[in-house]
Amino acid sequence: MNKLPDDQMLKLAAQSMFDVFASTAMGSMLVDRQHRIVWISESYKQFLPALGFHSAEAFVGKRVEEVVPNTLMNEVIDTGKPILVDLLSNQAGTFLVSRLPLRNEAGEVIGAFGMVLLDQPETTMQPLIAKFGRLQRELDSARQQLAAQRRPKYSIASFIGSSTAAMEVKRQARRVAQTDSTVLLLGETGTGKELLAHGIHAASARAGKPFVGVNIAAVPETLLEAEFFGVAPGAYTGAERKGRDGKFKAANGGTLLLDEIGDMPLALQSKLLRVLQEQEVEPLGSNQLQRIDVRIIAATSRDLPAMVAEGTFRADLYYRLNVLPIRLPALRERQGDLEALVETLAEDISRRSGLPHKSLNADALDLLARHDWPGNIRELRNVLEQATLMTDDSSLGAGHFAALLGVPARAESAPASVRAAPGAPNMVEAVEADAPWTPLPQAVAELEARAIRQALQRTGGNKLAAARLLGISRATLYQKLPPATHNESSPTGD
Ligand SMILES: Nc1ncnc2c1ncn2[C@@H]1O[C@H](COP(=O)(O)OP(=O)(O)OP(=O)(O)O)[C@@H](O)[C@H]1O
Ligand SMILES: [Mg+2]
């Protein structure tokens, strides 16, 4: 057989493909440049009654979009792009269809060829559709699980309080959550800066992305840079040989909390400023910049303007961070929230410790309201926790708290005559004053209890820090925490 010229071969291929499609498809049609139907196959006629036509003559010549609801033949003609596989649904049923543009020798679209490949694909393609459906459901449930895992533990509403000051903090937090700007959280220790940072992240568009915190005060100065920016592989020998990502990279797409920003060494302050301006980090030992997209929340209990004035904090970094400052009020500035806070914290303590919930008597609340709370809500939490652990009583009175706070249970219970001079330790008083004699074991116990109280007070109720101050372990401190203190009215000078 003689070899055919290439163009003739092509023409034959086109012709026989057309014949095969036209005869094997469940129906096919040709549409011209103006969207008019110019031809339909014999098999296509089966769909005409459902489309509202009784003869091919009435159907041919109409614009396709007027007689075949939901068709995309017009789109194929207008864009010149094929739609190889699609599902078409209208009153005639659901069909698997294919639509191809037709072009002349100059490459211009002259019309389109449409085929119904299958009708009722729901039944004929059942195994495929079922499998697709199953995969889709699996994907949905995996997505839900992932979302649940990622859902932040906190929200802005976790910041308890309905005083004007607390509501204003929450209003500002909700507002900044809508933005991508840097946020600066200012407030004394234990006022809830970290809690609020979590809440802002959770309320922001970045909620599904990581929230990463670095406590600058807790990382040795020499390690801070690596902690922030990461280390390139091979930068060091030994453990760091493989390199590692920094916190900026870990927080990419999400939020980075720079806690205790006031404790940042000056040298690192300028590097941080550059990162904030350029949105790029350079891992140690690498000369490649990595682009990062991170929202910064900085927090500190220190007086940044004063630090700027004395030259320990860079002014330009301060202004860069101070775009949206939120000042968290001290607990003593929102006494009205004390009861709600006690309620929430007591519930949380009982949930975590497995101990029954303990309610507070009115005299206990009065006593707490008179305290200055230098350690703010963290101190309140610790005091509640200690009081809860120290007794089996189901409700807590002033007596349970007096020793913990280093005050008499009732203001009038400590006559001025037995009050020690300010700062004078109890034991000295016991030895020198002509007060009744105290046996040594009791005097030692009193001195110990007093030292523990003072340490807890100085550290805002932070037991780990108090144990360090006292030079004992945290476990020992727990053992030594004063037992139930109902009738104690220890005179204190502080
Ligand atoms: N408004 C609040 N509602 C409920 N709990 C709070 C609130 N504020 C603080 N807390 C709780 O008090 C404790 C201390 O809060 P957090 O760690 O956020 O304080 P901070 O301002 O970051 O303190 P620091 O400056 O010492 O780091 C946490 O247990 C926190 O859950
Ligand atoms: Mg904090």
Q: What does the H/E/C string look like for 160-171?
A: CCCCHHHHHHHH
- Cβ–ligand 1 distance for 192 under 6 Å, the answer yes
Q: What is the pLDDT of residue 393?
A: 86
Query: What is the residue with the minimal CA distance to atom 9 of ligand 1?
Result: 192
CB < 8 Å & 24+ apart, contacts of 223-228? 224/264, 224/265, 224/268, 225/268, 225/271, 225/284, 226/284, 228/268, 228/271, 228/272, 228/275, 228/281
- Cβ–ligand 1 distance for 381 under 6 Å, the answer yes
Rounded to whole angstroms, how far apart are CA atoms 346 and 140? 38
Site to probe by mutation for ligand 1, drawn from 378, 379, 458 as the one with most ligand atoms within 8 Å of Cβ, is 378
Q: What is the pLDDT of residue 432?
A: 46
Q: What is the pLDDT of residue 38?
A: 96
Per-residue pLDDT tens listing for the chain (494 residues): 567 777 888 888 888 888 888 888 899 999 999 999 999 999 999 999 999 999 999 999 999 999 999 999 999 999 999 999 988 888 888 888 999 999 998 999 999 999 998 877 777 777 777 787 788 889 888 888 877 766 667 899 999 999 999 999 999 999 999 999 999 999 999 999 999 999 999 999 999 899 999 999 888 888 899 999 998 887 766 655 678 889 999 999 999 999 999 999 998 999 999 999 999 998 888 888 889 999 999 999 999 999 999 999 999 999 999 999 999 999 999 999 999 999 999 999 998 888 888 899 999 999 999 999 989 999 999 999 989 888 888 889 998 898 888 776 554 443 333 333 344 344 444 444 455 566 677 777 778 888 888 888 888 777 778 888 888 877 777 777 754 322 333 333 33
Q: What is the pTM of this model?
A: 0.59
Measure 415 CA to ligand 2 centroid, in angstroms. Answer: 40
Measure 69 CA to ligand 1 centroid, in angstroms. Answer: 61
- Cβ–ligand 1 distance for 337 under 6 Å, the answer no
Which residues face 291 on adjacent strands? 280
- In Å, how far are 30, 93, 140 from 72, measured between CA atoms? 13, 16, 30
Ligand 1: atom nearest CA of 337 is: 1
- Cβ–ligand 1 distance for 189 under 6 Å, the answer yes
Measure 300 CA to ligand 1 centroid, in angstroms. Answer: 12
- Cβ–ligand 1 distance for 206 under 6 Å, the answer no
